[in-house]
Amino acid sequence: MRIATGQFAASPDWEPNLDRCRSLAARAAAGGADLLVLPEGVLARFTEDRHRIREVAQPLDGPFVTGLAEATRGTDTAVVVGIHEPSDDGRVFNTLVVLRGGALVTVYRKLHLYDAFGDRESAHVRPAEEPPVTFDHAGTRVGLMTCYDVRFPELARLLADDGAEVLALPAAWVRGPHKERHWEVMIAARALENTCWVAASGECGPRNIGNSLVVDPLGTVRARLGAEPGLAWAEADPEFTTAARASLPVRANRRFAVDPRVHAPGAVPAGPAAVGA
């Protein structure tokens, strides 16, 4: 699978963001990409007044998704990108869409919301209740995660258990002390502990770090972007994946399973009482 990860700085208006996504999709298709991973929540970006994502959210049949889907028509590139989608409780879903051949292939709504480092995504975003999502393309199973999800290794493990060889991770990773280190370490950890490729796209701009990465199943960075807009390229070789899993059989050697049930935020038992529960 030939992978491209793209990044740009989203604006508060969806039309120029759609144009940027279309441009990156065209470049990815021209370069023979099977998979293009774009950032999280690029329908609109507000540095302040982030409650406005409720106002600008679009449904899956809205002009942003349908416009970008049309841009994939006649190509073999699957595009993964994040938007905000209305929900029925007044908040929005932080949603990944997968577009290919002019159509919507599948949808993943973010499970773990960024209520950390003084931020509170859940004030405006509704956490999903659906299980993790994978899809098949170019002979490869791809699992979907969004930004803060990378801090929860059980999600990546569930995707790998469902056969994922590549984890697509759109993000808008907020700048802050040690945050770049967190981003790189956790992407490498998710790759190593599941012997998967991780294709991570980080939005760039004044608030977010960029630093899109493709990491192989042995934790080596195969492609990287800095702080500027662009595309990074890597080949996810299935023979390398097979060899990595044979030499580092961590999934076969494990002793614990991951509970596939989706719990409400804060409802998972913690501490000694959770052992054997």
Q: What is the CATH number of the domain that holds 36?
A: 3.60.110.10
Give pLDDT, residue 56: 94
3-state secondary structure of 259: coil
Whether 129 sits among the annotated catalytic residues: the reply is: no
**Alpha-carbon distance 272 to 61, whole Å?**
47
Phi-psi region of 203 (alpha: psi -120 to 50; beta: other; left: phi over 0): beta
Write out the residue range of the structural domain in which residue 11 sits.
2-246
- Pair type for strands 213-215 and 166-171: unpaired
Q: pLDDT below 70 — which residues of the chain?
A: 271-277
Phi, psi of 93 (to 5 degrees): -95, 140
Is 100 within a domain? yes
What pLDDT is stored for residue 277 in this prediction? 44
pLDDT digit string, tens, across residues 221-264: 999 999 999 999 999 999 999 999 999 999 999 999 999 999 99
Annotation marks residue 85 as catalytic: no
Residue 211, in any domain of the structure: yes
pLDDT tens for 31-41 read 999 999 999 99
Type and span of the H or E element at 143: strand 140-144
Is residue 276 domain-resident?
no
Q: Quick one: DSSP state of residue 189?
A: H
Give backbone dihedrals phi and psi of 141, rounded to 5 degrees, phi first: -95, 130
**Overall size of the chain counted in residues:** 277
> Distance between CA atoms of 238 and 1, rounded to whole angstroms?
8
Among candidate residues 110, 121, 165, 193, the one labeled active-site is 110
Q: Are strands 197-202 and 166-171 parallel, antiparallel or unpaired?
A: parallel
- Structural domain includes residue 275: no
Q: Which position among 40, 121, 165, 193 bears the catalytic label?
A: 40
Residue 99 falls inside a structural domain: yes
Q: How far is CA 43 from the centre of its chain?
A: 15
In a domain, 262, yes or no: no
- Residue holding tokens 């049930």? 261
Q: What's the confidence (pLDDT) of residue 273?
A: 52
Is residue 110 among the annotated active site residues?
yes
Question: How many structural domains does the chain have?
Answer: 1
Q: Is 255 part of any domain?
A: no
Q: Which of 21, 85, 121, 147 is catalytic?
A: 147
In a domain, 228, yes or no: yes
pTM of the full predicted structure?
0.95
